Amino acid sequence: HFFRAKRAKCLILIGPSGTGKTSFALSLPGRVNYFQERWNLDLWNNYARYSVYDDVPWDDFAKLNFPSKKNLLTQKCNKINATDKYRGTKEINVRQPAIVLLNPEDAGSLLQEPNTTEQQNMFEYWKKRAFIYIMGPDEYFYKRQRRQQNAITTADGNQVSNSTSSMSSTEERIGGQYEFDEMIQHYEEKHSK
C-alpha cells in the first residue's frame, strides 16, 4: 500500500514512547510531511512521499485543527481544502500514504469496543482502511543503548556519577561538548582570586 496513489491503507502503529516508532517512520525513503502533536498548514508539502502524524491523540485530530481524518489518512480524495487556526483555506494534495504513531493511552476510540451504530460504522471503516499494529511488550523498532559514563569530579573534589546518558559522542549537541567543564573552570578561576 505504500506505493498506491489512491486508497492506500493508513498504517497506525501503537506502542510506548522510546520504542523507535518515529525513527522507523522517518527512516523511510523520500520527503515526508511530519506533524507532531499539532497541525501546521505551513509545513504541508504536496510532493511529499508520505505523511506522518506523531503523538496526535486519535480522538483529538479535529480539536487540533487537522482536516477530516478520513480525507487526510485514507486518500479518500486527491485534494482537500485545509485550513489552520490563523490561515485561510488552501487546497492540498493528499495522495501520500499516511502513518499514524500513537502511544497506547492516546488510541482512544480506535481501540474501544463499539457500543453504538455510529461507533460500529467507524470501527468497520478503520478496520477496512488501516493496518493497525499494536506493539507487544519488549518489542522495538529501535532500542537505544544506555551507557554508564565515567564519574565526574566536582569543584569540591567529590565524585558524582554522570547518570546513564544515552547521548553518543557523534550526536548533534546544543553547545560544546566541554561547555560545562569550561564554565566550571572559568568560574573557579574567577572566584579563587
* pLDDT at residue 180 in the model: 60
Q: Which percentage of the chain shows pLDDT scores above 90?
A: 52
Beta strands in the chain (DSSP E): 10-14, 32-36, 50-54, 79-84, 87-93, 98-102, 130-134, 152-153, 159-160
- Hey, what's the cell of 6? 489512491
What are the Cα distances from residue 87, in Å, to 41, 62, 65, 167?
8, 16, 11, 38
Structural domains present in the chain: 10-134 (3.40.50), 152-191 (no CATH)
Tell whether pTM > 0.75.
no
* pLDDT at residue 161 in the model: 45
pLDDT band for 53, please (50, 70, 90 cuts): very high
Q: Which long-range contacts (CB under 8 A, 24 or more apart) does 182-190 make?
A: 184/155, 187/155, 188/155
* pLDDT at residue 164 in the model: 45
Above 90 in pLDDT, residue 168?
Answer: no
* pLDDT at residue 170 in the model: 60
* pLDDT at residue 128 in the model: 93
Q: What is the pLDDT of residues 85-141, one digit of tens each?
A: 888 899 998 888 999 999 999 999 999 999 999 999 999 999 999 999 999 988 888
Cβ neighbours, 10 Å, residue 75: 22
H-type alpha helices, 75-158:
117-129
Higher-pLDDT residue of 178, 148: 178
Beta pairing, strands 152-153 & 159-160:
antiparallel
- The vertex-191 CA angle with 182 and 154, nearest 5°, equals 50
Q: Which percentage of the chain shows pLDDT scores above 70?
A: 73
How many residues comprise the chain? 193
Do residues 97 and 75 touch, judged by C-beta distance below 8 A? yes
Q: What is the pLDDT of residues 8-42, one digit of tens each?
A: 899 999 999 999 999 999 998 889 999 999 999 99
* pLDDT at residue 36 in the model: 96
Residue type, 8: A
